[in-house]
Amino acid sequence: MKMGVVFWMFFLLALPVVQSAKILTVCLIGGSHYMLLDEISHNLHQHGHEVRMLLQLGNPIITGFSYAGRADSYLTSSWSLGEEYIREYNGWFLEQQTQFLLGRDNFNNFMSFMGHLSYQCDKLLGDKEMITFLQRERYDVAILDAFNPCSFILAHKLGVQYIAFYPGTLNGPLSIALPISVSFVPVSCSQLSDHMDLWGRAKNLFYSLLAPISQELLWSMFRDVAERHLESGSPPGGLDELHQRAELWAFNSDFSLEFPQPLMPFTVLVGGLLNKPAKPLDQDLESWISSFGEAGFIVVTLGSMVSSVSVDPLLVELVAGFSMITQGVIWRYDPKRWPPHLDKPANLRLLDWLPLNDMLGHRKACLFITHGGQNSLLQAVYHAVPVLGIPLFGDQFDNVVRAEAKGLGLTINPKQISRGLLSSTIQTLIQDGRFKSSALSLSRIHKSHPVPPTLRLIQWVEHILHSEGGAHLKPASLTQPWYQRYLLDLVLLFSLVLLGPLALCWTNCRNKNSRDKHQKIQ
């Protein structure tokens, strides 16, 4: 332990000295996005930088959680659209929760969500007081939530260089020119692993062809906003151009969970920012867990923004399934929303908010039932806890495919949940030692990385500051036209060179045959 402390002290002292920088972090989406950017902002502040977060209030409410920030840490500038819109937006999001729990996630729902983000973006960029304040601060660099295109438009308007932090896996944004091979790198939303059969590769190719169309539809929601608020108008290259202007891309991913694939110098993986050694639980909760003896307990949470299951038949099956097992079940569920007609089994305890990291790090935590959010899975890997994935929307379906392919757990689609299937799957995951063994192996891989994710991100941010940008990390392919990048001009040239003589010979032969026939007729 002492040797480890000495090593990190020496390592930190050996780092290049970077003068304290003014850094803006941009958080326009709540939930897990805020948790990550809060952690990033705090760590940069602890490392001597002057950090301010632009925080949009009024995102879907997280029961039991506060956006109050941390004492003696970074500064916050809050912005809000007002109570009337917030009520409307939260009402819409609660309805979306119901659709997700019914297994009705689709591209239209995603586009509707992006429509809300676009409207919010228009109002934010139109707030002259806030924009003037941010421009006057003259930040050295901004760290953006790359999931929201508005962050890029805002950074462009402020005239500040920026680092894109993507809260998910590598296959999320599709316009940063990563060298993706469709034969073994799954495309976003394909729900494929890196081992594909013939039909899997065909599906992956099809999804790769659809990706640019999807991205253009997404950018269409923000193009008018960019046109109205940027002096130079909407970037000619659209979202592609804004992505490519980022000095660095940092991904909330790690190869303990991610499929191996080639990277570019301007991409770095920093997954596991929220992972920490577990703290002791409060005495009341500890006593309740102890009452189940060696059977242990199961942690259940369906995401930071899903505070309750509003689909009654699904809730009935979940509760009935939990009542059939011997383990205790701690479920993050708003007790005020529990249906009064439904009895809770003795082994079920509801909490409006739970310290997930501390729960998973408890020695008696034997299973984690999760929606498959990236942070949740990385915490399960860190603490070596097998998972049962119940994906609801977005990248969660791809995430649980990765978890299952790595041997971390199993998956049940919310439309297929029944009490019998739930209880039998739980018992399989707990009793079959292969899942715990895989979890331990993945945990060792994750923890043995030479540099922890927090320090890794700080080092890269300071490298960009020290280098005055990341131009030295970007390949020429980013500025090439698409037809040059994929060598289509070369293919066309070779086709002309190789096929031209053949076409000429064929034409000559055809003309000769025509002349011969004409002479015979005469």
The model scores a pTM over 0.75: yes
Position 506 pLDDT exceeds 70: yes
pLDDT at 484: 82
pLDDT at 39: 95
Question: b/e string for 2-11 if b means 16 or more Cβ within 10 A?
Answer: eeeeeeeeee
Q: Please tell me whether residue 2 adopts helix, strand or coil conformation.
A: helix
Using 50, 70 and 90 to split pLDDT, how confident is the model at 5?
very low
pLDDT at 14: 46
Instruction: Please give the C-alpha separations between residue 299 and each of 289, 372, 440, in angstroms, as whole numbers.
Output: 11, 13, 18
Q: Is the dihedral of CA 172, 178, 181, 184 positive or negative?
A: negative
Instruction: Please give the C-alpha separations between residue 200 and each of 108, 398, 399, 484, in angstroms, as whole numbers.
Output: 24, 14, 17, 28
Lowest mean pLDDT across 11-20, 89-98, 277-286:
11-20
pLDDT at 64: 54
Q: Look at residues 175, 202, 204, 209 and name the one whose alpha carbon lies nearest to residue 191.
A: 204
The residue extents of the domains of the chain are: 14-275+451-479, 283-447
The mean pLDDT value of the chain amounts to: 88
Q: Cα(321)–Cα(346) distance, rounded to whole angstroms?
A: 13
Position 7 pLDDT exceeds 60: no
Strands 365-370 and 297-301: parallel
End-to-end CA separation in angstroms for the chain? 103
What one-character DSSP code corresponds to residue 94? H
Lowest mean pLDDT across 44-58, 176-190, 363-377:
176-190
Q: Judge residue 482's burial from the number of C-beta atoms within 10 Å of its C-beta, 0-12 exposed, 13-18 middle, 19 or more buried.
A: exposed
Position 471 pLDDT exceeds 70: yes
Superfamily of domain covering 14-275+451-479: Glycogen Phosphorylase B; (3.40.50.2000)
Q: Cα(518)–Cα(515) distance, rounded to whole angstroms?
A: 5
pLDDT at 45: 96
The full DSSP string for 182-239 is TTTSPPTT----SS--HHHHHHHHHHHHHHHHHHHHHHHHHHHHHHHH-TT-S-TTHH
Under 8 Å between Cβ of 368 and 376: yes
Please enumerate in sequence order all residues whose Cβ is within 8 A of that of 190, keeping only pairs 6 or more positions apart, or say none: 203, 204, 207, 398
Lowest mean pLDDT across 59-63, 128-132, 320-324:
59-63
Using 50, 70 and 90 to split pLDDT, how confident is the model at 69?
low
Indicate if 283-447 has the same CATH topology as 14-275+451-479.
yes
Using 50, 70 and 90 to split pLDDT, how confident is the model at 2?
very low
Q: Cα(155)–Cα(143) distance, rounded to whole angstroms?
A: 9
Residue of higher predicted confidence among 15 and 461: 461
The full DSSP string for 8-55 is HHHHHHHSPP----EEEEEE-S-THHHHHHHHHHHHHHHTT-EEEEEE
Tell me the pLDDT tens digit for each residue of 170-187.
887 655 667 778 899 999
pLDDT at 303: 79
Q: Is the dihedral of CA 460, 461, 465, 468 positive or negative?
A: positive
Position 347 pLDDT exceeds 60: yes
- Residue range 341-350: average pLDDT? 92
Angle, CA of 178, 182 and 188, to the nearest 5°: 70
Residue of higher predicted confidence among 215 and 309: 215
Q: Please tell me whether residue 324 adopts helix, strand or coil conformation.
A: coil
Q: Look at residues 61, 46, 264 and name the one whose alpha carbon lies nearest to residue 175.
A: 264
Superfamily of domain covering 283-447: Glycogen Phosphorylase B; (3.40.50.2000)
Q: Cα(356)–Cα(369) distance, rounded to whole angstroms?
A: 12
Question: b/e string for 485-501 if b means 16 or more Cβ within 10 A?
Answer: eeeeeeeeeeeeeeeee
- Among the ranges 9-23, 125-139, 202-216, 488-502, which has the highest mean pLDDT value? 125-139
